[in-house]
Amino acid sequence: MNTEAKRSPSPDLPERERAGVREWLGLFAMAIPIFMLSTDLTVLFIAMPAIGADLAPAGAQSLWMLHIGDFLGAATAITLGLLTRRIGRRRLLVLGVGAYGLASLLAAYATSSEMLIGARALLGVAGGSFTVAGHALLRVMFTNKRQYATAFAIFTAAFMGGSAAGPPLGGLILEHFWWGAVFLINVPAAALLLLAAPFVLPRDTPDRSIRIDPLSVILSVLGIMALIFGLQELADRGASPLRVAAIVLGVALLGLFLRRQARSDHPLLDLALFRTKGFAILLVLLSFAAFAFAGTNMLIAQHLQVVQGLSSMQAGLLLAAPAVSGIIGSLLTPVLQRLIEPTQVLALTLTLSGASALVVIPLLGTSSLASQIIALSAIMLFGSPFMTMCTQMIVTSVPPERSGPAVAVQNVFSSLGNAGGLAVTGSLAMAIYRPLFTREAPSGLSANELDIARDSFGAAAAVAERADGTLQAQISHALDHAFTVATQAGFGLAGSLQLIMALIALLWLRRVLRKRSSATPSEQ
């Protein structure tokens, strides 16, 4: 890719290629719902105690309330990607936002655990529709590359901003209203976009020749959902025959799905996408980045509470600082693109983010909380431009009419990376924590208490709270040391992965994209 062309000024492009007021208003109208949608991913953690007290979920119902939306959003992504072509980008977005507003109303006034789980399921599918269609619309709204890079960064920053605002916003709402209000605030945002869409979003022509293969839909939805469910359950509760069976079933169903796509005249997923040079490498980089960030985010949130004694609200507020750094990093992405070529942006940001993750290791347990938050903020400041740039390159590596399916595949790989990161990093942390805690646990612990304390970090903290005097201090010391070493291992894995990916971006991806650039006329 030509660096000099990257630096050339955009005003020399024809005016018709530059977005006007209508397109920027359209971006603003989409940014508000994407902000609210992403608050749902984090606000529910704050609201769960109030929901539990009111609805009294039984068994695994609390888990399904938290995760059913994520599962179905990822599982239906491939189908939604094809629907951007079958019914049109704008129509899918409007349908998704309408369903999102309705599902928010149902969730706000849910009278049973089952009703809330159903509403959360609809929120997941509706949110997936909006995300896929929104990214696809950006591609046709902003045809000028510089403007597209800026619009994409703003869209991504809105999503990250919602994630950061979720915990404090949820806490503020719950101080004055009932738990349903955390969902009810989504309704005005959805209504705004529904009213504005006909005026600020471009109309596109549906491709009625596209056919939806029902069996492919079933195989993709069940396969992705089983795989992600198995991986997240493995991370939350450890290994069991059922969780391993879910992972095996998911892999088998996805294998059947891919085989059918290769043979079908109307595939749900066009496998030719993966033959686009650089597409598969970018997906691998993105999924492993999601893997790295998910694992460390899980560990540090618990470490702040279990080892450093913060409340969940205090931990959430402190972790808003790295999230804000991520927003800033996303907004800086277009600036980086103008200065250096894309693969160098990827390699540089991965290197700095990975190095920051490694810096966290010696800070845990020995340095001030402020220094840890600064290092965590550096991870996000450098990591978010990578995520933004990588996603943008995936979407723009294919023609505009295929951007919906490309976004859908990217969503699936991100979800699998996230779930895999939780499972693998969680398993690694427990594999380190258990023998360390067992070795350092005081002799005054009974066999039953030792088994409970070994089961999880939170359980060990509860055992320590019930103990008295010297025994409490000894249990806490064993817990702090074992959990800190486990958390350090998680950050070591994340940092090392990012440095390896930086080399892949700089050496392999760069060479592949240069071959593509020399083989086809440049779009610059």
pLDDT-derived band at 67, boundaries 50, 70, 90: confident
Average pLDDT over residues 42-56: 75
3-state secondary structure 335-382: HHHHHCCHHHHHHHHHHHHHHHHHHHHHHCCCCCHHHHHHHHHHHHHH
**pLDDT of res. 60:** 65
- Higher-scoring residue by pLDDT: 119, 165: 119
Residue-level pLDDT at 236: 65
Give the per-residue pLDDT at 439: 87
pLDDT computed for residue 515 by the predictor: 64
Cα(461)–Cα(192) distance, rounded to whole angstroms? 46
The tens digit of pLDDT for each residue in 405-429 reads: 888 888 888 888 887 887 788 888 8
User: How far apart (Å, rounded) are the C-alpha atoms in residues 196 and 428?
Assistant: 48
Q: Do 494 and 290 form a contact (C-beta atoms < 8 A)? A: no
- As a whole number of angstroms, the distance between CA 48 and CA 174 comes to 11
Nearest of 508, 513, 492 to residue 394 by alpha carbon: 513
Of 496, 431, 49, 449, nearest to 234 (Cα)? 431
Average per-residue pLDDT for the chain = 83
Instruction: Provide the pLDDT for residue 6.
Output: 39
Contacts of 346 (CB under 8 A, 6+ apart): 285, 386, 389, 390, 502, 505, 506, 509
Range with lowest mean pLDDT among 8-12, 101-105, 503-507: 8-12
pLDDT at position 256 over 90: yes
pLDDT confidence band for 524 (50 / 70 / 90): very low
Polymer length of the chain: 524
Place of tokens 């994630």: 163
Task: Give the per-residue pLDDT at 522.
Answer: 39
- As a whole number of angstroms, the longest Cα–Cα distance in the chain is 78
- In one-letter notation, the amino acid at residue 133 is A
Q: Which pLDDT band holds residue 252 (cuts at 50, 70, 90)?
A: very high
The predicted-structure confidence for 470-496, as pLDDT tens digits, reads as follows: 888 888 888 888 889 999 999 999 999
* Alpha helices in 185-311, H assignment, sequence order: 186-200, 214-237, 241-263, 279-306
Place 41 in a pLDDT band, splitting at 50, 70 and 90: low
Percent of the chain with pLDDT over 90: 21
Instruction: Please compute the mean of the pLDDT values over residues 252-260 and round it to a whole number.
Output: 93
Report CA-CA distances (Å) from 340 to 5, 6, 140.
11, 8, 25
Residue of 461, 107, 522 lying closest to 308 (CA atoms): 461
Residue among 495, 492, 517 at smallest CA distance from 343 = 517
User: In this predicted structure, what is the pLDDT of residue 1?
Assistant: 39
Instruction: Give the residue among 270, 282, 276, 506 at the shortest CA–CA distance from 393.
Output: 282
Burial of 408 (0-12, 13-18, 19+ CB in 10 A): buried
Residue 237 pLDDT level (bands cut at 50, 70, 90): low
pTM of the predicted structure, to 2 decimals:
0.81
Q: Which residues of 288-312 are buried (b: 16+ CB within 10 A; e: fewer)?
A: bbbbbbbbbbbbbbbbbbbbbebee
For residue 521, is pLDDT > 60? no
